[in-house]
Structure 1
Amino acid sequence: MDEAKVRSYRVLVIDDVLGVRESIRIALQDAGFHAVAAENGQRALDLLAGGGFDAVVTDIWMPEIDGLSLIKRLRNEQSGLRVFAMTGGGPRMTIETATALAEIWGAERVFLKPFDETLLITALKEARS
């Protein structure tokens, strides 16, 4: 993929843990993406309402609006948006169940934390192609 296409690709990273959110945002920016971060699903919806994003990378377990609900809503409201999920497990269901639901509801891929950020970068570059 050419550098100009990567740089113009806008990705919203959503995670309630600051360190995770910023680590991913910085890795994406270092790879040439335009990355913006949000701390929860509600803030993500506010940012997405302005348009201009090509992809979302969301944690599954967050306060206010969890990632599963967010994925389901995005599939109904913004069908062209590429959606990726990530999880380290959560309080309400197993990782396997959360992963299956994320994929059923529209996540293109689910990354299990901790994961190598180059895998996400590769997936985003393939989604852009």
Structure 2
Amino acid sequence: MIDDVLGVRESIRIALSAAGYEAEVAENGQQALELLSSGSFDIVVTDIWMPGVDGISLIKRLRSERPHLRVFAMTGGGPRMTIETAMSLAEVWGAEEVFVKPFDEALLITAIEGKGH
């Protein structure tokens, strides 16, 4: 779970843990890449707007290096483009689903579990 806002990281980490998932957290894309290189992960949930390695760059890299890794993205908007454009880019580069913050964490759990698809 990658987000530069501590409250968002903790909220989603708690929701994932309550649903039975083991969740690691990172505050930016670079930290996430370091975590991913040192362990085995099935799913990545990333914010799109972060300093340094942003979510779009992270998704692009994950798609080239780990094409079977499931990726979900989220955004609350940012300075360079609209929420709609960010969502479209995340989907084009391989995010399974993109959530607009704030969102109910149950929607993320449902998407991860494949319910409703």
| TM bucket normalised to smaller | over 0.9
Report the CA distance between 1:64 and its aligned residue: 1.1
Does 1:49 pair with 2:31? no
Using the TM superposition, give the Cα deviation of residue 126 of structure 1 relative to its aligned residue in structure 2, in angstroms: 1.4
1:110 aligned onto 2:94: no
Identity across matched positions, percent: 74
What CA distance in whole angstroms lies between the structure 2 residues aligned with 1:50 and 1:90?
30
Instruction: Quote the offset at 1:125 in angstroms.
Output: 1.1
Q: Cα deviation per residue 1:95-126 (whole Å; 9 max; x = unaligned)?
A: 01000000000000000000010000011111
Give the structure with the higher percent strand: 1
The CA RMSD measured in Å over matched residues stands at 1.0
Question: C-alpha separation between the residues in 1 aligned to 2:111 and 2:28?
Answer: 22
1:75 corresponds to 2:63: yes
Paired with 1:36 and 1:126, the residues of 2 have a C-alpha distance of 21
Provide the C-alpha distance between the structure 2 equivalents of 1:100 and 1:69, rounded to a whole number of angstroms: 14
The answer as to 2:89 corresponding to 1:101 is yes
2:52 alignment partner, SS class: coil
User: Any gaps of 5 or more consecutive residues in structure 1?
Assistant: 1-12
| Paired residue secondary structure (1:35) | coil
Query: How far apart are residue 51 of structure 1 and its match?
Result: 3.1
Shift of 1:50: 1.7
TM-score by length of 2: 0.96
Match of 2:48 among 57, 60, 65: 60
Q: Distance in 2 between matches of 1:85 and 1:97?
A: 13
